Amino acid sequence: MRFTWSGRFLPIAFLVLVALAIALAWGLGWVDFSGQGLSAETIQQWVAQAGAFGPVIVILLMIIAVVASPIPSAPIALAAGAAYGHTYGTFYVVAGAETGALIAFWLGRKLGRDVLLRWFGDKVDMGLLGSQNALMGTVLLTRLMPFVSFDLVSYAAGLSRLHAWRFALATFAGIIPASFLLAHLGGEFSGADLGRTAWAVLGLGMITGAPFVIAFVYGKFRKNGKDRQT
């Protein structure tokens, strides 16, 4: 029987590699799963020591933060802004987050609902239903809401009918505001307080997401009104 890297073998192999990378980082003391051991200052030191490979460190950390969620993404974005300024910092953060989201989307689609149920429980059934435009709008809206789990949305979207290019576009558009804000704060205020940063990102998410919520509620209200008339 010939072995081929297809079906579920490739995503499982990828997960094994990610797990090994996380285990190595944890063993070396780079990652604390409580979220307390990895600060923006620590990441900034890694980036500085990496020299020309610093952007690669930022992008890889963002990918791991999205796919496996062992570390918070805010310190990574702050460190990227402190090291490269808000323009390049935003670019590297968005590149990592977008890549991680696409990997999670692909894993969700390949591994299937049963596997994700064991990982996330019933939360994976997020109700991502509707037309392609509706699904795309839902992903965009959740990306603007920092309190909605980034990785969970990515995996759940992989279980939906949403086309990959629509998912990629909605994710890209949705992550830019928060990524820019975090990178800007990191560039302007080295060692920025994570508590204040979290509130700033939350406020930005509410401001940018409010028009979409209002439009959604208004559309539902109009549709229900028309249904009653008919």
* 182/193 Cα distance (integer angstroms): 11
**Are the CB atoms for 228 and 220 separated by under 8 Å?**
no
How many other β-carbons are positioned within 10 Å of the β-carbon of residue 99? 17
How many other β-carbons are positioned within 10 Å of the β-carbon of residue 204? 17
* 216/213 Cα distance (integer angstroms): 5
Q: What is the pLDDT of residue 225?
A: 57
Sign of CA dihedral 73, 74, 76, 77: positive
Q: What is the pLDDT of residue 96?
A: 94
The pTM of the full predicted model, rounded to 2 decimals, is 0.70
* 210/163 Cα distance (integer angstroms): 25
Q: Map out the domains of the chain as residue ranges.
A: 9-229
pLDDT digits (tens), the chain, 230 positions: 444 445 555 555 555 565 566 555 555 555 554 545 566 777 888 888 888 888 988 998 899 888 876 677 888 888 898 889 889 999 999 999 999 999 999 988 888 888 888 877 777 776 677 788 888 988 998 888 777 788 888 998 988 889 999 999 999 999 998 888 888 887 776 554 545 555 455 555 555 555 555 555 555 556 555 555 55
H-state helical runs in 132-163 = 132-144, 150-159
CA dihedral 205, 207, 210, 211 (to 10 degrees): -120
Structure tokens at 161: 């009918």
**Are the CB atoms for 110 and 70 separated by under 8 Å?**
no
Q: What is the pLDDT of residue 186?
A: 79
Which of 151, 211, 210, 199 lies closest to 175, judged by CA?
151
* 214/220 Cα distance (integer angstroms): 10
Q: What is the pLDDT of residue 41?
A: 77
